[in-house]
Every structure is written in structure tokens, then in C-alpha cells.
Chain A
Amino acid sequence: MAHGSGGKATTELISSIFARYFDNPVLAKMEDAAVVPGAARIAMTTDSFVVTPLFFAGGDIGKLAVCGTVNDLAMSGAAPKYLTCGFILEEGVEVGDLERIVFSMAQTAADAGVLIVAGDTKVIEGKGGLYINTAGVGFLPEGDFEVSSSFCGDGDVILLSGTLGDHHAAILSARMGIENTIQSDCAPLHGMVSALLDEKIRVRAMRDVTRGGLATVLHEFAAASRKCLRIREDQIPVTAQVKGFCGILGLDPLYMGNEGKMVAVVAREDADRALECLRSSPYGKDASIIGEVVSGEEGTLLLHTRTGGIRMLTELYGEGLPRIC
């Protein structure tokens, strides 16, 4: 493939695949930069995606690239508006795979209500690897809205938008040759966030639950807020299949990555309404109140276990390798 070097082949690839699926008025102009309306305060973020395999149960690298960046914007309270996407393709990438991925990105972007306004492609030597970078811009609401991991206060309530471990389990299942119907939960979260903001829920902190899992996120909240957070094992939703998968490999869902779940810490009086907001979204149907900020040692996260004991949770160490014996 002699692409990405500005010649005819590049234009062909762009016009045949990218422009067809990412079609919008901004991109159609094909200028060097996209000129778009802005807002008084914007949020910006970028992330690169290198997952293998490229296609997995419930998603693909393209869907991941859109949702990952959309969710980073949403977690700051911004409404995601524009994305860029840069592709780095190694020689040997199947054009059919590229087309599927681009189509998936276009669908996910449409579902999320964002426009892909700029893009770039480079081709390098290699063995068919495919990597995507997305950068995103979102509009922050007017006023002084601000969330921070350091804003958790006494009595605040912790909510989780759904089941843990699905994405991580879906990826690992493929690699370990374990057959199941676990799907990655890759999904955009800003629908739930705007529901929370529309209802004037007093959100202190929120974060999507990605690498390192729920325990890592909540531990950061506890440390930044200098509070003690306590969650209940029997309130944390995990599907039976993911639980079974974890049992086989000796993994802990509290430390596994998701791609479509968020945690929010809200004022106690707003907790029930906040739960309704999350459950109003198809991506939050299993949302649950899982714990609260309690008095205790600063910077600690406690788990009330199913057995009735207390376990202290730290952030993730290592890569969470499956146990033996």
C-alpha cells in the first residue's frame, strides 16, 4: 500500500472509505483544518487505541476509539461535539477490515451525536497492525459547573451505572479460548451525564471505569478527597457469566476494565433521583447505589464483603494476571 504519502492512492483510499462513511458538511469541504462553531468554555482530550484483536464480541477498535474520547469529555461535564481521527496503518491491513472499522466509527459517532471533522492517515511497514488516535472537543455548560475527584464529602453517595468487567472479560475470552456470550460494554456515557446535569443533581465527582477497574477509580477519589469511601459487595452488579469467567481465571471484577460504565459521587439527598437518571439510559439499566463516604481513615477504600467482613481495597498493582492453583 503506497498510501499516506500524498499521492493518488491516498486520495482513493480516503474518498472510497473515509469520506463515504464520515460524510458531513465540514469534512466534505476537505480543507486543511476544520472551522466549526465553539463555546465560551470547551473541554479537550486525546487518546490512542492499540487494542488487539481489532474485532471482539460487542465492538471493535473503531467503536472503542470514539467512545473512549467521548467518555473522557463527558466525565468533565462537557457535551461532546467534535472528534478528529488519525489512523496509522501497517502494510498488510485488510481493506475490508478497515472499511468495517470506519463504518463502526461512523455509526458510533452518529449514536453519540458527534461529528468527525478532521482526519489523517499514515501507512508504515509492518504486519497488518492498525492504530487509531482520536482527539475530542466538548462544550461545557454555562455557569461554574465543576466536578473533581477531590470534592467527595461526608455522607455523599456512590453510584455505579452497571455491570463490571464485561469489556476486559470479552477481550480475554477470545485470547484464552473460553467460549461465552460476554460482550464488551463499549458505549457512550454522555447521555447519562446530561440526564444528571438536566436534573440538577449535585455531582461531586465522576469517572468512567476503565483500566484498573472500579477499585482504582474509587481509591483515587478517596485519596484526592482525603476521605474514607465504603462500598458493598452485594450491591455491585456483575453478570453471572463474568462472575463465572473470573472464577475460572482467578480474576477480580473490581479491578477489571470496562468501556461503557461510570461511577458518580453525588449529594445524599439527590441519590435516588440520580439513580433514576442513570437507569433512564439503555446503557444504565443495571445502575446501582453501591456505597457512601463514611468516617474513617483518610484516603482509604473499604469493601463490605458478602461474608460480612471488611476488606481494604488499594489501587491495581501489576496487570492482574490470572492466578494458578
Chain B
Amino acid sequence: MAEPLLATRSLYKAFGGIVATDNLTLEVAAGEIHAVIGPNGAGKTTLVNLLSGLLKTDAGEIVFDGGAITRLRPAARSHRGLARSFQITSVFPDFSVLDNVALAVQAHSGHSYRFWRPVRGDAALYAPAREVLARVGLGARMEVLAGNLAHGEQRQLEIAMVLATGPKMLLLDEPMAGMGVEESQRMVELLRELKSDYTMLLIEHDMDAVFALADRITVLVYGRDIATGTPAEIRANSQVREAYLGASEDV
């Protein structure tokens, strides 16, 4: 395998006595969708927070695109090309949909020590923002306040903001969270389209979506990688069935 785009080496994080990420070594190759699944409390969101820099690692290393990013702040990681979405929708609720995305574009268009020119109508920001919104299917909702969007639309906006930063890789924390069947279907379609352009780490509870999209899957239980492989391998893995898939089938 070629050099992975993202790799963690013995990543470790504990909250008090609870180990959330236990010596995790993970490699995501460029161009693939790598899904991370696991029961609630397996440490999936913690992993995304460590990768995006919202949490500090206790030990271990994160390498992205050939450089260590373990100690970089979230903003710096974004500038390296690593973008994340949030499980619980995190947008600027009092900004319009278009302004949300324009701000993401602005964050990657040089510094913001520009005090004079009105940002509204700045084509350098708004043209790309409109393009991205059209791509995720929010083209008709650009002037709505983000806080007034329906839940599914807010999930789309999450993706739009991620894309607007011009990333190399997406960290998607449950992009289908709280979505209906039809909306999930559309999100799967969108992610499939994006696959040709971006490497993705996908955390998702929706198993249909995971098996439809992922090239490789890692199964986390108590912060530990108990299996990594292709969807077929994971499906066949008895340990996984016991720890996770079996349990969910019982429900």
C-alpha cells in the first residue's frame, strides 16, 4: 500500500479512568472511504475530536499528508486540508445558509484582518459558496437562516461547510444522524458522488450506508480496534458479529 493519507500511531486518550481511545493504529489510504463503526461509547466521536484537534491526545501520533499534526490546533489542521463535520449539527444558526458557507470559504482565503470592504457581495467568497450549496442540494435555501433549516437540511449544510474549506480529506461524524430513510438515501448518494474527489473517514450508525459506501471498515469497541477489513471481511468476522453486529440484530 502506498503511504496512507491519514495515519494514527498508538493513539491514546483517557478521561479519568475511562479509556476512550486505546492504542489505536489506523491507516486511511488516499481515495478510500474508511468507515469506523462500533457500539455507543466505543470512542468514535472521541476519535474524530482527536483527529480534528478539539481534544488533545494523551499519547501517540497523528500523521496527515506526510506531516505530524498531533499538536496542531483545529484551525491549523483545517488549513492542512483535514475537515470535519459534527454529529450534533454545528453551524452558525444566526447566519444565513449562504453566509455560513461563505465564512468557511473566507477561512481559507487569506487572513481576515480586512476591516473595510463589505463581505456581502464579495464574489471571491460568494461564488464558491453558491457552487458548494448547489452541489449538496441546498441551492434553493441559501437565504434562510441556518437555525431555521429542517434537520436534514442542516446535515447538508454541515457537509457544504466542510467542502467549502477545500479539504483533502473529510472526517464525517455520523452525517446521517437523525435523518429519515429518504434523506439518508440522498446523503449516501451525495457521499458516493464526493468519493471521487475526497478521502473520507466515515463514522456512522446506519449499517446499510456503511456497507454501501465503505472500502474498508474498522470496528471499535471500548476504544480498541477489534477488526479492520473490507466490508465482506467484517461481515464474516465472528468477533465483530458477537461484539457489535449480533447485538444490533437482536434489537
**Chain A bound to chain B:** no
A residues whose Cβ falls under 8 Å from a Cβ of B: none
B residues whose Cβ falls under 8 Å from a Cβ of A: none
